[in-house]
């Protein structure tokens, strides 16, 4: 897997250098290199997460908040730190080779700004997934056949994150009214059915590409409540809403697979 990534990255770097030479604009290389590296890191992070999940579940364990925290601490954080250092060294070496010291300073600075944003997006994604797991476990306990197995008010509060009253506890056990599904729901669900591990950005690009092909079709456009023309714009503006929407689709796809 790693060798395939490295080969593809090498080909993309060569193509970027050729395009920079064709344009005759050295500034094009820096912006293109940052975009290329961020895309590569996102794909590597997704692959790492998928591998960790497969190994974890192969041993009979279920995903949980400690597992997701461990993935961030022991896999994603080292990946981001290592890639940042490697890319910076490569850029500085390129400056020496072309005889222009400092030419890559803007790319190094941009990468240093954007990597924490990428890390924050993964952290938000894992927090949403952890809450989903905890809520599903709580729902399972709420449906327990005996009263002794049902969660206490403190159990509910540990998931909700606040102290709750008796009325709040009763409200949690009541069945929620199903929300109205957006026009894009079934189309988006089909995308998730075909790839349950699809990353939020890849999901947005796939939906937006369909919307570009069929601009009159509302089933390819984001929910109207988002007030965004495309999924990508919403992902840049409020990535949490896209991750939450994608999480609901994954839950639905998993329920159908049972």
Greater pLDDT, 170 or 91 = 91
What is the average pLDDT score of the chain? Answer: 82
Span 17-33, average pLDDT: 82
Span 158-181, average pLDDT: 55
Q: Of 12-16, 25-29, 128-132, 228-232, which range is least confident?
A: 25-29
Span 28-42, average pLDDT: 87
* Alpha carbon distances (Å) from 149 to 63, 131, 144, 145, 161: 22, 21, 6, 7, 21
pLDDT class of 21 with cuts at 50, 70, 90? confident
Residue 230 has pLDDT above 80, yes or no: yes
Greater pLDDT, 30 or 41 = 41
C-beta atoms surrounding 53 within 10 Å: 16
Residue 152 has pLDDT above 80, yes or no: no
Q: How far apart are CA 21 and CA 29, in angstroms?
A: 9
Q: What is the pLDDT, as a whole number, of residue 156?
A: 52
pLDDT class of 189 with cuts at 50, 70, 90? very high
The pTM (predicted TM-score) of the whole model is 0.54
Span 203-223, average pLDDT: 90
pLDDT class of 258 with cuts at 50, 70, 90? low
Residues 6+ apart with CB under 8 A from 109: none
DSSP letters of 84-127? HHHHHHHHHHHHHHHT-TTTTHHHHHHHHHHHHHHHHHHHHHHH
Span 173-189, average pLDDT: 75
244 Cα distance to chain centroid: 10
Q: Of 125-139, 155-169, 213-227, which range is least confident?
A: 155-169
pLDDT class of 170 with cuts at 50, 70, 90? low
Greater pLDDT, 257 or 198 = 198
With a pLDDT cut of 70, the percent of the chain lying above it is: 83
pLDDT class of 147 with cuts at 50, 70, 90? very low
pLDDT class of 154 with cuts at 50, 70, 90? low
Q: What is the pLDDT, as a whole number, of residue 257?
A: 73
């Amino acid at each position: 897997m790693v060798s395939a990534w490295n080969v593809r990255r090498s080909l993309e770097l060569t193509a970027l250098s050729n395009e920079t030479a064709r344009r005759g604009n050295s500034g094009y290389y820096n912006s293109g290199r940052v975009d290329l590296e961020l895309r590569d890191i996102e794909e590597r992070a997704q692959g790492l997460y998928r591998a960790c999940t497969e190994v974890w579940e192969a041993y009979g364990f279920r995903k949980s908040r400690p597992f997701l925290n461990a993935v961030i601490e022991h896999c994603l954080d080292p990946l981001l730190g290592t890639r940042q250092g490697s890319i910076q060294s490569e850029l500085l070496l390129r400056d020496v080779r072309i005889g222009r010291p400092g030419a890559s300073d803007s790319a190094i600075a941009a990468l240093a700004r954007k990597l924490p944003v990428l890390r924050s997006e993964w952290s938000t994604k894992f927090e949403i997934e952890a809450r989903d797991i905890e809520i599903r476990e709580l729902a399972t306990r709420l449906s327990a056949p005996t009263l002794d197995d049902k969660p206490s008010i403190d159990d509910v509060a540990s998931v909700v994150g606040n102290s709750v009253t008796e009325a709040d506890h009763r409200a949690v056990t009541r069945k929620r009214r199903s929300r109205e599904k957006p026009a894009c729901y079934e189309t988006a669900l089909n995308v998730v059915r075909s790839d349950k591990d699809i990353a939020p950005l890849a999901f947005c690009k796939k939906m937006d590409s369909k919307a570009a092909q069929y601009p009159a079709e509302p089933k390819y456009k984001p929910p109207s409540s988002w007030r965004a023309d495309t999924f990508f714009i919403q992902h840049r503006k409020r990535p949490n809403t896209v991750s939450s929407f994608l999480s609901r689709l994954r839950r639905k796809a998993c329920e159908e697979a049972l």
